[in-house]
Every structure is written in C-alpha cells, then in structure tokens.
C-alpha cells in the first residue's frame, strides 16, 4: 500500500478513532498494557491485546491482537499487529517480518520501513520538519498570508489527546464514582446545571479576587490552590459527563454494561467531533463545563447522590409515661 498524505481533518478523525479503538466498551474485557517511560517487550509466541506507551520503548516480536498507541519513544515491530499503529512524535521501525493488518499513522518523529514489511491499510506519515514548516513556521511568520486554521486544528487534536490521557487515568482509578456522577446527571439534570453555574460564577469571582491580592504576594498561594482545585473539579466532572454521553450512545445501540473507561472514551469521540464545529462547539463546550462542575460538586466526586441533602434528624420515641405513685397506706 502506498504512503499517502491525508487532509488534516481526515488525519484528526483517523488518529482519534485509532486512539479509541483499543479501548473496550464492556467491562471485564480490557487487556491493555499501559506504561510511562518503560519498556514493553512482546516476545516470539507471546500475545498482547493492546499497547499504550508514553515515552517508552515498544518491541513486538510476537502478536498484538488489536492496536499499538505510543507518544514519543521508539516502536519496533517484527511481529504482527492485528489492528492499527498510531505514534505521535516517536520513532517507528518496521522489520522485514512486520505485519500491520490495518493503518499505520506516524505524526511527527521518524518512520523506517524495511523491505518485506507489510501494511494492509493506509500509511499516514507526517515528518517533524513538515509539521514545523507547514503549520508553525509559515503559519506564525505569514500571519496575514496564511490562515491559522491548520494551527487551530493541530491544537484541538493535541487537546483531544490530553483529554484521552485524563480519561484513561480518571476512569481507570475511579470507575464507580464516575458512573454514580453520570447517573445523577440523568436523574437530576437541572439541579446539577444550577449547581455548576453557581459554582463557576463563584470560582471566577474568587480567582479574580486572588489575582488582585497577588499584586502584594498575599494571594499567590490562594490563586494556586484555586487553580489546582478548579482543575481537579473540571477533570472529574468532564470525565463523568463523557461517560454519560458514551453510555447514552451505547444504550441507543442496545449495548449494556458499559465500562467506565470504554464509555468515557466513546463520549470523548462525540465531544471531539462536536467541539470542531465553529460557534456551536464553543457553546457545547461551555455547557459541558457547567454540567461537569455541577456533577462533580453535587455528588462530591461521585461519592454521594446529593451532597447538599440534609440528613434527616433522628426521631426519638416519646418518653414512656411515668406510672402513678400509689397512695400511702
């Protein structure tokens, strides 16, 4: 199959789809190996479902049944990959015995294909210097002669990738809490929306006040604490809402028992497509932020259906009547 360059919009869709493909929809079906700056080796005769590597080294001499996704590092394939390979900013080497049964996507970095290797699908390869030249140098230096649209699309793609990592961490560590918060969005939408709107307004006021205090250094710790708290709330609330979207889509196709990770990634796919729509995407993202904040705060990060519900006061039985005192003889 010849190597061909796809339009950037098509590349974005392909990368996002390939990113989401390895992650299962149903609970209990995941065999994804995730590492950070470590080595993954699949030896001859060994089998692995999926591989996700951040800044590490991946060597496949056996079989990966589904996909390989890597950011940075080095990927060496001498065996078989049953789905696609997606590498962002890393080095990819296909040995003569390598077989990739679907697509090969390398965005940035370096790709080396030795004679005899086989890629059944498309090969999409953007060299690092091509990205720098096409999207950044010409786009920034030729501000008035070249549209900034490619840069915006690249930044959106980078944002989707970062959110994919956040979803992976949050949904993997707190699946029960994510599901509870998403369920409350369905049953208490307007209370959650109102809570999120009030929380965002209050948070903005506090941040502005802390920024003013930062002029005299007093507000810097307060501002940093607010920013940290805001990120935690946003991350959890966004993941819970993404699961709500993904689980709703799965229900539409009669899929039940959706895992927190699979549902959240499916919701991220929908969110990513809608966020690319001009104006409507901005409005949609704003509403998502409001609902996400409301879901995180009202459910206390998925630990209770309604954090603000007052506990009922204990009802004590009335005291037993005092028996009458018999008259003295």
Indicate whether 116 and 44 sit together in one domain.
Answer: yes
Determine the structural domain holding residue 36 and report its residue range: 8-130
Q: Are residues 17 and 42 in the same domain?
A: yes
Strand partners, 41: 59
Q: What is the pLDDT of residues 232-268, one digit of tens each?
A: 999 999 999 999 988 888 777 777 777 888 888 888 8
Residue 237, SS3? helix
Task: Please count the structural domains in the chain.
Answer: 2
Whether pLDDT at 324 is above 70: no
Helix (H, G, I), strand (E, B) or coil at 39: strand
In a domain? residue 328: no
- Is there a single domain that holds both residue 160 and residue 252? yes
Question: Distance of CA 141 to CAs 134, 138, 158, 201, Å?
Answer: 11, 5, 21, 38
Q: Is residue 320 part of a domain?
A: no
Residues 84 and 177 placed together within one structural domain of the fold: no
Q: Domain check: are 122 and 157 in the same one?
A: no
pLDDT value at residue 224:
86
Count H helices and E strands in the chain, helices first.
Answer: 9, 16
Query: Which strands sit side by side in the sheet containing 123-126, from one edge to the other?
Result: 32-36, 50-54, 68-71, 85-88, 104-107, 123-126
Q: Which secondary-structure segment (H or E) carries 35?
A: strand 32-36
Give a yes or no: residue 22 inside a domain. Answer: yes
| Residue 141 domain-assigned (yes or no) | no
**Are both 256 and 164 inside the same structural domain?**
yes
Residues 155 and 292 grouped into a single domain: yes
- Residue corresponding to tokens 């991350």: 235
Largest CA distance in the chain: 119
| Nearest to 242, CA basis, from 223, 261, 255, 226 | 261
| 216 and 285 both lie in a single domain | yes
Contact 249, 266 (CB under 8 A): yes
63-77, 246-260, 296-310 — which is least confidently predicted? 246-260
What pLDDT is attached to residue 178? Answer: 92
pLDDT at residue 93 above 50? yes
| Angle 119-121-123 from CA coordinates, rounded to 5° | 70
- Reduced to 3 states (helix: H, G, I; strand: E, B; else coil), residue 91 is strand
**How high is the pLDDT of residue 210?**
84
Q: Give the other-Cβ count within 10 Å of 112's Cβ.
A: 11
Pick from 87, 18, 273: which is nearest to 76 by CA? 87
pLDDT of residue 268: 86
Question: Mean pLDDT lowest for which of 77-81, 191-195, 210-214?
Answer: 210-214
Decide if 329 is inside a domain.
no
**Residues in Cβ contact with 294 at an 8 Å cutoff, skipping those fewer than 6 apart:** 191, 192, 193, 194, 195, 196, 197, 199, 237
52 and 161, same domain (yes or no): no
Tell me what the pLDDT averaged over the chain comes to.
77
Task: Tell me, yes or no, whether 108 and 209 share the same domain.
Answer: no
pTM over 0.85: no
81 contacts 61 by C-beta, under 8 angstroms: no
Residue 155 lies in a domain: yes
Q: What percent of the chain has pLDDT over 90?
A: 28
Residue 136 placed within a domain: no
> Who has greater pLDDT, 206 or 142?
206
CA contacts within 13 A on the Cβ side of 41: 3
Helix (H, G, I), strand (E, B) or coil at 167: helix
Q: Is 55 helix (H, G, I), strand (E, B) or coil?
A: coil
Residue 177 neighbours by CB under 8 Å, 6+ apart? 236, 240, 299, 301, 302, 303
Residue 151 has pLDDT above 80, yes or no: no
Q: Average pLDDT of 66-91?
A: 86
Look at residue 80 and tell me if it is in a domain.
yes
Compute φ and ψ for 142, nearest 5 degrees: -100, 55
Q: Are residues 52 and 184 in the same domain?
A: no
Same domain, 188 and 80: no
């Amino acid at each position: 199959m010849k190597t061909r360059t796809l339009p950037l919009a098509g590349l974005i869709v392909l990368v996002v789809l390939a990113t989401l493909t390895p992650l299962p929809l149903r609970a209990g079906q995941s065999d994804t190996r995730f590492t950070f700056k470590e080595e993954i080796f699949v030896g001859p005769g060994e089998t692995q479902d999926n591989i996700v590597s951040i800044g590490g080294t991946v060597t496949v001499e056996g079989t990966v049944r589904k996909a390989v996704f890597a950011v940075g590092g080095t990927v060496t394939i001498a065996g078989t990959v049953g789905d696609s390979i997606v590498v962002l900013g890393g080095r990819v080497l296909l040995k003569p015995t390598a077989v990739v049964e679907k697509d090969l996507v390398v965005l940035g970095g370096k790709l080396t294909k030795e004679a005899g290797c086989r890629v059944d699908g498309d090969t999409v390869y953007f060299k690092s210097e091509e990205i720098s030249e096409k999207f950044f140098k010409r786009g920034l230096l030729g501000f008035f002669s070249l549209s900034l649209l490619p840069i915006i699309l690249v930044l959106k793609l980078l944002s989707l990738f970062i959110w994919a990592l956040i979803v992976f961490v949050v949904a993997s560590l707190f699946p029960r809490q994510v599901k509870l918060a998403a369920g409350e969005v369905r049953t208490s939408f307007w209370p959650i929306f109102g809570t999120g709107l009030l929380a965002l307004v209050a948070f903005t006021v506090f941040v502005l006040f802390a920024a003013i205090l930062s002029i005299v250094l007093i507000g810097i710790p307060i501002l940093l604490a607010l920013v940290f708290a805001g990120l935690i709330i946003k991350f959890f609330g966004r993941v819970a809402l993404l699961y709500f979207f993904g689980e709703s889509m799965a229900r539409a196709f009669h899929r039940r028992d959706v895992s927190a990770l699979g549902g959240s990634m499916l919701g991220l796919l929908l969110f990513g497509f809608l966020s690319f729509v001009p104006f409507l995407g901005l409005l949609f993202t704003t509403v998502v932020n409001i609902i996400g904040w409301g879901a995180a705060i009202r459910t206390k990060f998925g630990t209770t259906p309604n954090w603000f519900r007052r506990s009922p006061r204990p009802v004590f039985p009335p005291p037993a009547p005092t028996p009458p005192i018999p008259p003295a003889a």
